Structure 1
């Protein structure tokens, strides 16, 4: 009988590099898929004769597909070969990209974006799980740091690359660019990632389709409740939240009854895992704050031109890209628990500094805390992902990866809605310059509290680990 222990990448540097590229390229592609379309919305509205509300769904459809399906896709990766699933996800992403490029109507394009989002979901969920399966334990932190770097690069590069491609080759090019990149990724995954032992597949049980449908419905309703209304929370949002609660209760009931649940509820009762997921959501809420309220403060509070706003806003993603790989080395060198706390401390200090900001401090007064927040976030992400993936067994790494991505996406959704609302409430002043500063201060005060709660959770988790080790000894 063959062993079901996963293969670990062999020692030769070429194999290690190939494996890392196989995981990094899908991460870059899924991140680009999210950010590259934002700049195309005015062009798409003109080409298809659509309203701005309609073309917004080109962005929303992709994000909604990822948010609603990522846990189910992660679980599917626990049941079938993750390598096979990643190849299928890449192929779907490429085909959907082609479908986007030839779209004759806006609704065709939106439907193709849903399919592209499904492919992106596979790439996001499976790459994290494959790190623990294919990379040796002493290099997991570095691999997580590299994936964080590529995710940040994709986010930062998307708007600029999209603008250049649209200006030079038309709007279709922002989707066609995925074909050569996806082809390289397909080759690398096929060539370098090891195949899962098929005997392992039969030991994982069936797939919980009802649970996936209910969780997807729960997340879709919650996402719509947080995004519809353009910042105004009305009766429709309340009804959607009520539907979210009902669907969530039904999901929990089903998960307790089925033989092979989508999410083993006992998994969420593991203190290290649950604290890692909750902290991830809190910190992601803080990070989204800079994307939501930062441009408003820079434009109104500091009175910068649009080009200057874009330049200042690129500082955060640039720092994240530069800090990702060094963060991974620090995690491997000093351990994930300590680096989680250090990263959260950086986020907390940066948010606290912005809660006391004044327009008289200028651009430097804004950029320095943002750089501290972003570097702290990069360190936290590398450490937290490493800790969570190492905590769970190989048979549940797909679900754990999906939950990590879900926690991050929920934090982004809450941050975009709640933090935007707080800023709007606090900045309602007759003097728009002073109002923007007041809005930023209050918003980041709340962000500092959230980061502080995350830090307390991390410290508690660290104490819990030490207690566990002492008990086992």
Structure 2
């Protein structure tokens, strides 16, 4: 019986790995195809960018609902549903006759990916043996880094071989394989939480987060952006008001106030904002200030994800040995050192300085993720772990959306020009310095929050 149980856990672990890998590849693989898609469908590059944005916005907007769905349906069953949605939308993307259909398919695919990213954290916590939760979180973090890092390279190879469609066929194959394996566990695992569907809460949270994400990703006037942000604030305020009064809320406000989930979500938001800066600022600095080609920029920027992939599981083992509360602060401290290095070293050492900063930032990020996820999910009632994991992913994704806009604004403002492609080397170095000093300050604040929470033993 014990051997059968171990085999079953390993099989379920394979499902979780494939789930995170598929969703991570979906995040990054299509980005490299944007110029080809613009040409294939006769649209502008700005139009083609919605192929990437639709996925990110949908995945962000539905992360909270994905966790609630897992608790209500049973997490393995909800994961199966997410993989089926992902695979079906991937097929629709591969055969899309127009750019608008492709964008719609990507949005649906992103909703499936939200389930595939959120629920493995909760399921992993469910099946982890005593004292091994950190290792589980670290392994899933490693898989996410591998998927994100390998996506652009795999996408580029597929495009050169047979055009853009194979990118989505590969995603469809990964999704179908994951769904086939997940179907074995669909009726087992965590029991559904008997509750009515909080439809008003789901709709308000999803629409509020989507409005916020659109506001920060659309290239429109300040008036339009401001109006969308006001709209998002109103919708999210209505969400919390509805949840306060609901007899069966999807995200009880009491679950956030003064709790490990509230603190962990806030830390995820700050860290997501900082990590997005490497994707937003990096290419402009490396190309403009250091004169690297596109291929060279890709290689330099791959250093961070590779470091993440190599250190994720190790970080998890460290968390199991030394404890999640302490390692949350240590991970944030390492990230602070990495941000400081990115602020100072590239101006002195060039490419070597930039790579040193990213290679220091990435392991700190993995240590933080493993520790923070372990601490939060370990403090939550098992019946609410789906909501907790969805909330953690929601906070990180909102941070990344915020970082794409805010860190880019800080960079251009510090560089003294809105068009950084024509800025001088000195201006770009100043922009990098200010951006990462701001990032380091944010991480110092996050470290202080984590230490205060640990000292109070917030549950």
Q: 1:174 aligns with which of 163, 167, 170?
A: 167
Shift of the alpha carbon at 1:9? Answer: 9.1
Distance 1:48 1:371 in 2: 38
RMSD (CA atoms)? 1.9
Q: 1:27 aligns with which of 11, 14, 20?
A: 20
Aligned residues: 455
Could you tell me which residue of structure 2 aligns to residue 242 of structure 1?
230
Q: How does 1:441-452 map to 2 (within 5 A)?
A: 441-452=433-444
Could you tell me which residue of structure 2 aligns to residue 410 of structure 1?
398
Alignment check: 8 A CA contact 1:134 1:193 kept: no
Q: How does 1:237-316 map to 2 (within 5 A)?
A: 237-316=225-304
TM-score by length of 1: 0.92
Q: 1:341 aligns with which of 315, 329, 335?
A: 329
Distance 1:69 1:193 in 2: 21
Could you tell me which residue of structure 2 aligns to residue 433 of structure 1?
425
Q: 1:206 aligns with which of 196, 218, 221?
A: 196
Distance 1:427 1:182 in 2: 43
Could you tell me which residue of structure 2 aligns to residue 3 of structure 1?
none
TM-score by length of 2: 0.95
Query: Could you list the per-position Cα deviations for residues 363-416 of structure 1 after superposition, in whole angstroms to 9, with x for gaps in the alignment?
Result: 111111211111100110011111111111111111111110011001101111
Could you tell me which residue of structure 1 aligns to residue 87 of structure 2?
94
Could you tell me which residue of structure 2 aligns to residue 329 of structure 1?
317
Q: 1:268 to 1:431 in 2, by over 3 A?
A: closer
Could you tell me which residue of structure 2 aligns to residue 216 of structure 1?
206
Shift of the alpha carbon at 1:451? Answer: 0.5
Shift of the alpha carbon at 1:237? Answer: 0.6
Shift of the alpha carbon at 1:194? Answer: 7.2
Shift of the alpha carbon at 1:193? Answer: 7.4
Structure 2 residue runs of 5 or longer lacking an equivalent are none
Alignment check: 8 A CA contact 2:288 2:423 kept: no
Q: Secondary structure at the match of 2:266?
A: helix
Could you tell me which residue of structure 2 aligns to residue 392 of structure 1?
380
Query: Could you list the per-position Cα deviations for residues 313-356 of structure 1 after superposition, in whole angstroms to 9, with x for gaps in the alignment?
Result: 00000000001110111111111111111110100111122222
* Bigger shift: residues 30-39 or 347-356: 347-356
Q: 1:118 aligns with which of 102, 105, 111?
A: 111
Q: 1:179 to 1:245 in 2, by over 3 A?
A: closer
Q: Secondary structure at the match of 1:298?
A: helix
Q: 1:336 to 1:81 in 2, by over 3 A?
A: same
Distance 1:9 1:329 in 2: 24
Are 1:85 and 2:78 counterparts?
A: yes
